[in-house]
């Protein structure tokens, strides 16, 4: 059963799924299920969360919800260990926060044809760390939803303390 964190909606049967169905079952995305992202969330689940909530917000605002859903699903399509990368990089190399969007965009481009909008969403989802302001409203939505989902995943993924 495919769901977004804090949602009761089964995603496989809704309009959202039609936007991403060609991508979501790909083995390249399945590999993300094995990688922890925020506390106990897999990177795959994080991407689904960002994708679904970005789709909903963009649809509500009359924006390109399909592109937001697709780019949201692909925005963290990288396989390396981010902590290991940051611990062994030289000071001349970019941090993970700056590097992973480039890697994800390259991986996504090998998986599917990306529009200019989708490339911008993936490239700029780490704004303001990326310095360059997102070009499109959809890019800004995905950027904000990415941060929102990180908080949700942290809160939902943290074991409750016993009293």
What CA–CA distance (Å, rounded) separates 94 from 162?
41
What homologous superfamily is domain 11-157 in, according to CATH? Hypothetical protein af1432 (1.10.3210.10)
Q: Bridge-partner residues for 42, per DSSP?
A: 36
Q: Could you tell me the CA-to-CA distances from 93 to 85, 98, 150, 160 in Å, in that order?
A: 10, 10, 25, 38
Q: What string of pLDDT tens digits covers the 163 residues of the chain?
A: 788 888 888 898 899 999 999 999 899 999 988 877 666 788 899 999 999 999 999 999 999 999 999 999 999 887 566 555 445 555 666 555 676 788 888 888 999 999 999 999 999 887 877 778 889 999 999 999 999 999 988 887 644 444 4
Q: Sort residue 39 into left (φ over 0), alpha (ψ -120 to 50) or beta.
A: left
**Residue showing tokens 């290991």:** 84
pTM: 0.85
pLDDT, residue 152, reads 87
With beta carbons less than 8 A apart as the criterion, state whether 125 and 142 touch: yes
What CA–CA distance (Å, rounded) separates 43 from 56?
20
Q: Which of 11, 91, 84 is nearest to 51 (CA)?
A: 11
């Amino acid at each position: 059963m495919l769901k977004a964190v804090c949602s009761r909606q089964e995603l496989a049967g809704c309009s959202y799924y039609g936007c991403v169905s060609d991508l979501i079952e790909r083995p390249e995305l399945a590999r993300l299920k094995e990688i922890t992202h925020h506390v106990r969330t897999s990177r795959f689940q994080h991407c689904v969360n960002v994708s679904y909530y970005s789709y909903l917000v963009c649809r509500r605002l009359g924006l390109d919800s399909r592109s937001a859903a697709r780019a949201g699903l692909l925005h963290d399509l990288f396989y390396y260990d981010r902590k290991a990368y940051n611990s062994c990089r030289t000071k001349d190399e970019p941090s993970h926060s700056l590097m992973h969007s480039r890697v994800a965009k390259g991986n996504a481009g090998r998986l599917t044809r990306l529009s200019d909008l989708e490339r911008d969403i993936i490239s700029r989802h780490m704004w303001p760390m990326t310095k360059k302001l997102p070009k499109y409203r959809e890019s800004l939505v995905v950027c904000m939803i990415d941060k929102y989902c990180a908080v949700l995943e942290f809160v939902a993924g943290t074991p409750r303390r016993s009293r």
